[in-house]
Every structure is written in structure tokens, then in C-alpha cells.
Structure 1
Amino acid sequence: MIGRFFRHLFALPWALRRALPARTLEAIELAIEASEVRHAGELRFVVENALHPLAVLRGQSGRERAIEVFSALRVWDTEHNSGVLIYLLMADHDIEIVVDRGVRARVPDAHWAALCTELEARFRRGEFYDGALHCVQAITATLAPHFPGAGTKKNELPDRVLVL
């Protein structure tokens, strides 16, 4: 617990910018735009460098924070209940994927857990650019058969990566 506290306390912004520079964030945004043309789902990509020290002391996990962000950003509030949050907590090297109830009814939780495990391994190897784009592509491949695109659709959630 003490190690985690100091890891979050001293998580420096430059490390986040080095792992995910502007060109990577732009590429993720473009990948989300291209993805959402292929299905009726909505993707939101959020990166947080570290939790507030009090959250760490309370023992808040990356999963708990991801669910909190999912709710605060209203990812659950889409027409087809097809919102997907990709949440990266850099200080913990944690990746969480939170899906809305419409997606959860069609795709088992084990699928998302396996994708998170794969991405965590890629990110540990420093493959942030390729890992993030692979994540968006894998989610696209998962959502397309279950939520086929119906031509022109409105964009319900921003495609821009949110850095907290």
C-alpha cells in the first residue's frame, strides 16, 4: 500500500506525455472515429496519470475508478446502451474496459478481461501506440457483429482522448 501511495504521489506528467505523446492521442482519436463508422457502439478513451492520494489511501482500485469515470462521463447514456470505456491508470499500469449493459448482454466479461490482460502486457513492453490502436481495433471487431452500423449516425460521445 505504501509503495502504491508513493507511485501515485510522484507520478510525473512528463512520463505520461512520453508514453502517450500528442501524435498517439491523435491516432487514437482517428481510430475511434473510424471504428464508430463500422458499428452503433460508442467508444471513450480516458487516461489518468495517477489517483488522488486520498483515493489511494482509501484503497480505490483502477476498476472502481474506471466505473466512476464511466458514470461521470455518461458512457452508459447511449441510444443502444452500447458505450465502451477504455481507461488507463498509468501509475498502476492498469487498463480497464467498462461496457454498458447492452454490450455486456452480448459479449461475456471474460472477453474484456482477456483484452485488458493482453494490453497490459503490450504497455509493459512500451508498446503504447500499437497497443492503444490494437485495443480500438479489437473493440471494433467485437462490436461490429453485435451492433451493426445503420448508415449515418450521430456521435453521442466525444472521440477525443480525455487525459485526467
Structure 2
Amino acid sequence: MAKIDFTVEDRAEIAQAITRAETRTSGEIVVIVAHASDGYASFTVLWSALIALAVPIPLMVFTDWALDLVYAIQLVTFLLLLPILRLDALRFSLVPPSIKRARAHAKAVDQFLAQNLHTTQGRTGILLFVSMAERFAEVIADEAVFEKVDQEVWDGIVEIFLERIRAGDQTEAFTRAIARCGDVLAEHFPPDGMECDELPNHLIVLDGDATVR
């Protein structure tokens, strides 16, 4: 699972990319990175319980151990698995991809509203949301942008972004995606001479319930 690891220089470069992109458009760009979109604690309990429930079957078939011993082994198995399956690498691998995508999308929508992207003048804000644990990225556009730009355009930007992430070019992935978002906004929403920087240009990093700016 990818980790959030941005140096001061990385953050500065991403912030500069946002500022450069916004000078060419009346739109607003917000970039948010989350370590994970959900803790998925219920899946840790679920898989621990399922494995523990299966433990007695071979013991009862292939041994003549007393039921109280089998029960004790079952309980110990459950208690041992709980902390092991809480490890990030294991916990996130236990969650079906469709659920991870759904949780990450829900988090993106939540952040779109939390960052007031729906209140910008002209309704021309877009959010680039990335959730590292889910390996998920999405561009969400506000009403005016959505009406003029097909979703396929944003999906293409996301695909290029994910390719650069997989190649290990984390900061470049962000700066390229931001520049391309700026290109799209500039095409449909050029500067109108009345721009004010309504939303933050720096990278916003969510770590659990805390926001690190």
C-alpha cells in the first residue's frame, strides 16, 4: 500500500502547480490526498471471526480432542488474528475492490462539500481527490464545469495520474494532473478579470480524522 510521504519541496511544487493552473482560468482547483477513506475495522472482525469459525472443523474430524479444548483454540485463534489483521497491508487487502472504490468516492464527495467547492462564484471548482490506501483517484467537477466537460476527460487525466504514481513519480503525477486540469478549465472558463482566489492552493493531506495542511 502506498504511503503519504510529501517533503516540504513536494508540497511547494504542488502548490505552485495549482497557482500556475489557476492563473489561466476563472475556475478553482483543490487537491486533497487521504491516507485512507475508511478504517475498515469491521472487515478485521469479520475475517477473524470467519477463520476462527472454521478452526473446529479439521480438529473435530481429525482429532479426538475434547470440545472445551477445541473451543479454547477457536477463541485464541480469533484473539490472535484481530491484531494481525489490523495491520494495514493485510486489512486493506481483505476489503473487496468495489467496496474500497465506493468508500473512496463517498469520501471524495464529502470533501468536495467540506472544502466549499460547491459555493464558488460561477460554480467552476474542481476537486482532485486521491486516496492512497484504496489506490483511488477522482476528479469531481462542480455544476458549471460538469455541464461543459465530459466525464471521460477527467477519467483520462486520472488514468495518466495513476500511471505516473505506479511508476513512482508521485510529485510529477500531481503536477501533471493539475496542469492538465488547468488546461481543461482554461479552455471553457478563461480568466474574466474578476478572479479572486477563493479556495486554498496548497496540498491538503487528510490523515485519519485530522487534516494536515
TM-score range, shorter chain: 0.7 to 0.9
Give deviations 1:28-50, integer Å, cap 9, x for gaps: 11111111111000000001011
Q: Give, in angstroms, the shift of residue 140 of structure 1.
A: 0.9
Query: Secondary structure at 2:36's aligned position in 1?
Result: coil
Deviation at residue 55 of structure 1 after TM alignment:
8.0
**1:70 paired residue number:** 112
Unpaired runs of 5+ in structure 1? 1-6
- 8 Å CA contact retained: 1:28, 1:161: yes
1:93 maps onto 2:135 in alignment: yes
Which among 149, 167, 176 is matched to residue 134 of structure 1? Answer: 176
Structure 1 runs (4+) deviating above 2 angstroms are 54-61
SS at match of 2:178: helix
Residue in 1 that maps onto 2:4:
16
Normalising by structure 2, we get a TM-score of 0.65
**Normalising by the residue count of structure 1, what TM-score does the alignment of the two structures yield?**
0.84
Q: Aligned equivalents of 1:56 and 1:84: distance in 2?
A: 32
How many residue pairs match? The answer is 150
Counterparts of 1:1-164 in structure 2, within 5 Å, are 15-17=3-5, 20-54=6-40, 59=99, 60-151=102-193, 153-164=195-206
For 2:21, the aligned partner's letter is S
Which consecutive unaligned segments of at least 5 residues does structure 2 have?
44-94, 207-213
Shift of the alpha carbon at 1:68? 1.1
Q: Which amino acid aligns with 2:162?
A: E
Q: Which residue of 2 aligns with 1:4?
A: none
